[in-house]
Amino acid sequence: MKRRLVLDQASPTTPATHPAATDRLAGLVRALGALRTEDDIRHFLVDLCTPAELEAMADRWAVVPELAEGRAYRDIHDRTGVSVTTVGRVARCLALGAGGYRVAAERLGLVGTGVELSAHDAR
């Protein structure tokens, strides 16, 4: 059985695990917060993640501005090569997740505050 990391103690949908997992996440969050430049962050991520993990994270992030532009899932797939399933997962996180994608997108000027990012493929 794969163990899951507790991201938010208040989340009813995230299963609890050993308290040390929460402490490890807190340590990782502190480490990321201590990095000051894009090069520092890039080097940290390269050391921390496998190439496949980095590619998966970069793919997910590439979907955010596409969704912010209001593009359909299939169009995003055609433009980025990211699977429609992954596009849907990112859209769900934007609409129903912890808010991390949205905060980053707003701070980078990809979406304005109050912009609705839909979690369904109605286009």
Domain residue spans in the chain? 19-48, 50-123
**Across the chain, what does the average pLDDT equal?**
85
50-54, 83-87, 112-116, range with the lowest pLDDT: 112-116
* The pLDDT of residue 121 is above 50: no
Tell me the pLDDT tens digit for each residue of 97-107. Answer: 999 999 999 99
| Alpha-carbon span 62 to 81, nearest angstrom | 10
The pLDDT, as a whole number, for residue 117 is 56
The secondary element (H helix, E strand) that includes residue 53 is helix 51-68
| Alpha-carbon span 57 to 66, nearest angstrom | 15
112 or 97: which carries more pLDDT confidence?
A: 97
